[in-house]
Structure 1
Amino acid sequence: MPSDTPPDGRARARSRRIRPYTLTGGRTRARHELLVEALVSVPEYDPRLPETLMPESRMLYEHARSRASIAELSVAIAAPLGVVRVLISDLVSQGAVYVHATAHTYQHDREMLGRILDGLQRLPV
């Protein structure tokens, strides 16, 4: 019979105790558009900030010290993408983390798309 406990056992135990809507205060949408591939980083690490954050936000803040995508952060703290988006959005609003622009941001910018295409064409085959 397969075990439904992940190798470390802690992530599933925590998720059973705390419902996602509790972590987000009932919010289901982030204030900022955060795609799963969006990279998040900490522009200036404040060692005092983690003490003021709830555990999941603290983990996100610490993991974002080395640039990571929303998807990677979701896996790192074993939380659903929707929850991570809301919590990261809160950290963005506080100025604690920075979300780097994705190609989606430039989808209507013909000049940027031309520069990307030019760069791709220069790559060795």
Structure 2
Amino acid sequence: MTAQETAGPGTWAGGLRPYAVTGGRTSPRHELRLESELVAGSRSPERPLGVEAQAVVALCRERPRPVVEIAGIVRQSVLVTKIVVSDLLDSGALEIALPADIEPDHPNVLEAVLVGLRNRFGDAKSA
């Protein structure tokens, strides 16, 4: 049995509670859908990843994974998982997976573009 399988509900393998995992934040920076698929990114994060973030990246290295599946595997709420995933998208450790045959107006394409723009330009707002 893996550490993830033996962890109790509402805890990561390391035993951290949700408020510790998210640093007290209650909403993700990115609006991710439950079915948004993620893959390991090509960039290395500038700072070391926590245990929970490392677990998410490891899962996404195996194959594209939807947010809801990641939440189920790590046994954490979808909201907490979205916050961790959002941080990983910002760091470049994760990317939104886009199938080759996807339509240009598909929500995953729009999410990926938005994440890319935020990573490139930060929170710049138009006047």
SS of the residue 1:18 aligns to: coil
Q: Which runs of 5+ in 1 are unaligned?
A: 1-7, 108-125
| Percent pairwise identity | 25
SS of the residue 2:89 aligns to: helix
Instruction: Give 1:82-93 correspondences, 5 Å limit.
Output: 82-93=79-90
Instruction: Give 1:1-125 correspondences, 5 Å limit.
Output: 10-12=6-8, 15=11, 17-44=15-42, 52-65=48-61, 66-100=63-97, 103-104=106-107
| TM-score for both structures, normalised by structure 2 | 0.64
Q: Report runs of 4+ in structure 1 exceeding 4 Å deviation.
A: none
Q: How many residues are aligned here?
A: 97
Q: How large is the RMSD of aligned CA atoms in angstroms?
A: 2.9
**Could you tell me which amino acid in structure 2 is paired with residue 41 of structure 1?**
V
Q: Deviations over 1:28-73 (max 9, x none)?
A: 1111111110000013375xx6x92111111001001111000111
Larger radius of gyration: 1
Which has more helix, going by share of residues?
1
| TM-score for both structures, normalised by structure 1 | 0.65
| Whole-angstrom CA distance in 2 between matches of 1:19 and 1:94 | 22
2:116 equivalent in structure 1: none
Distance 1:27 1:70, change over 3 A: same
Q: Deviations over 1:5-41 (max 9, x none)?
A: xxx8622077294221110001111111111100000
Distance 1:14 1:97, change over 3 A: same
